[in-house]
Amino acid sequence: MLKNIKGAIFDMDGTLIDSMWIWENIDETYLARKKLTVPPNLKSNIEHMNFYETAEYFKSKFNISDSIEEIQKEWYDMAIYEYSHNISLKSGAKEFLLLLKEKSIKLALATSNYREITNVCLKKNKIYNLFDSIITGDEVSKSKAFPDIYICAAQKLNLNPKDCVVFEDVLCAVKGAKSAGMTVIGVHDLYSECQWNEIIDYSDMHISNYNELMTAI
């Protein structure tokens, strides 16, 4: 499946790095500061949204008086520290990226995260320079439930979408990447455990860690 691939597009959170727990903690901390509790369906309601959409949702859902920009800034300040200090790569991720580079496969990162947080995290884990292109959520208007960010990533690599493989860890993103006409590999993450069977169904291939792919290309 990977023998003829010319480009690989990676999500960051939950795919290359173990970080999804941070956003649950930020949601809980933020709402606690507002003397609000986390509703049971919050995760499923916001997982497909980018940051601006999530801030809009919070402002409307919880009747928050702060502006959307103020909400985002508070989240950003909490996140930047964690990504600078406490986030690590998933098992085998760096080794697999290095192998792809050795095989002259172009690499792109397509994340809904902020540009600065993304850069800080990639540099902290010493993989920033491995990517030929990095696309963040502020560069596309639609969430990962749509193909836009993946098509943008392929264009920046000067590749046809059919020549790219996408690595994603949540169902809506897997579907978005598939709708872009790309091969999709589902990456297991505890945060999306409840979706895993569906991720398997929609993906062309699925892995528990990157060591499984070291002999696949």
Domain boundaries, the chain: 7-19+88-213, 20-85
- Judged by phi (left if over 0) then psi (alpha if -120 to 50, else beta), residue 104 lies in left
pLDDT, residue 4, reads: 87
pLDDT, residue 3, reads: 81
Q: Chain-wide mean pLDDT for the chain?
A: 94
Cα separation, 143 vs 74, whole angstroms: 21
| Token pair recorded at residue 91 | 């098992």
Tell me, what amino acid is at 79? A
Q: Could you tell me how far CA 118 lies from the centroid of its own chain?
A: 10
| 67 Cβ contact partners less than 8 Å away, ≥ 6 residues apart | 59
Cα separation, 195 vs 217, whole angstroms: 27
Q: What is the pTM of this model?
A: 0.87
Residue 4 neighbours by CB distance under 10 Å? 10
Q: Could you tell me how far CA 81 lies from the centroid of its own chain?
A: 18
Q: Which residues pair with 109 in a beta bridge?
A: 10, 134
Q: In angstroms, what CA-CA distances link 37 with 61, 62, 67, 108?
A: 12, 10, 20, 37
Q: Which residues pair with 106 in a beta bridge?
A: 7
Q: Which residue has the tokens 């930020």?
A: 26
Three-state SS at 195? helix
- CA neighbor of 2 nearest in space, from 182, 174, 193: 182
- Judged by phi (left if over 0) then psi (alpha if -120 to 50, else beta), residue 110 lies in beta
Top-tier CATH class for 7-19+88-213? alpha beta
The 10s digit of each residue's pLDDT in 2-46 is: 888 999 999 999 999 999 888 889 999 999 999 999 998 998 888
Residue 89: φ, ψ to 5°? -70, 155
Q: Which residue has the tokens 């540099």?
A: 123
Largest Cα–Cα distance in the chain? 53
pLDDT, residue 13, reads: 94
pLDDT digit of tens for each residue in the chain (217 aa)?
788 899 999 999 999 999 988 888 999 999 999 999 999 899 888 877 878 889 999 999 999 999 999 999 999 999 999 999 899 999 999 999 999 999 999 999 999 998 999 999 999 999 999 999 999 988 888 889 999 999 999 999 999 999 999 999 999 999 999 999 999 999 999 989 999 999 999 999 999 999 999 988 7
